[in-house]
Chain A
């Protein structure tokens, strides 16, 4: 698990107040963290940053999370990037859509801090 320590995370959510705790938790784990407040901003950051994990909100104004995920999958050099959807939606079809667009895990809000940390760690380990 040693390599996890240096992992890079990108957090995408239009609600800054949700990103604050996640950023804290991820930094506490020793991860490098960057934040984006919209799908477009995330796509701008992604090619240069090449994160290991993207924590992605689904319902965002403009481009939604599924769209962002689809585009991530098309970007060169991001094949190893794992996507974790974090969303207030929980409906069945949304979840399937999450998987079909290339997401690794689908978590609903409100999340449990330890669970989030654990899932990110798991995702990193499989990846």
Chain B
């Protein structure tokens, strides 16, 4: 491990916390109430689309933030033959 990976580690934590706060904001009142009057986009409820888009957005960003951990090789449990 080097300093750079430590930095990315701290960066990652900071970004995740930031993302959490953004998500908290987007998924809550008062922003939510913008769509709380039964608006429709086409025939689809605006609320349905809004929440869906934010949700997918969060998934994509987390995927992007975590991609190097996800792809990292599995650590072998034991190095030695038993």
Contacts and interface: CB of A to CB of B under 8 A. Distances in A.
A and B touch in the complex (CB under 8 A): yes
Interface string B51-82: 00000000000000000000000000001111
A4 interface: yes
Contacts of A4: 80-81
Interface of B: 79-82
A67 to B, nearest CB: 32
Interface residues of A, number: 9
14 contacts: A1-B80, A1-B81, A2-B81, A4-B80, A4-B81, A5-B81, A29-B80, A29-B82, A30-B82, A117-B80, A118-B79, A118-B80, A121-B79, A121-B80
A2 B81 CA distance: 8
Contacts of B80: 1, 4, 29, 117-118, 121
A5 B82 CA distance: 8
Interface in A7-50: 29-30
A121 B81 CA distance: 10
A117 B81 CA distance: 11
Given A2-B81, A117-B80, 12 more contacts: A1-B80, A1-B81, A4-B80, A4-B81, A5-B81, A29-B80, A29-B82, A30-B82, A118-B79, A118-B80, A121-B79, A121-B80
Interface in A98-124: 117-118, 121
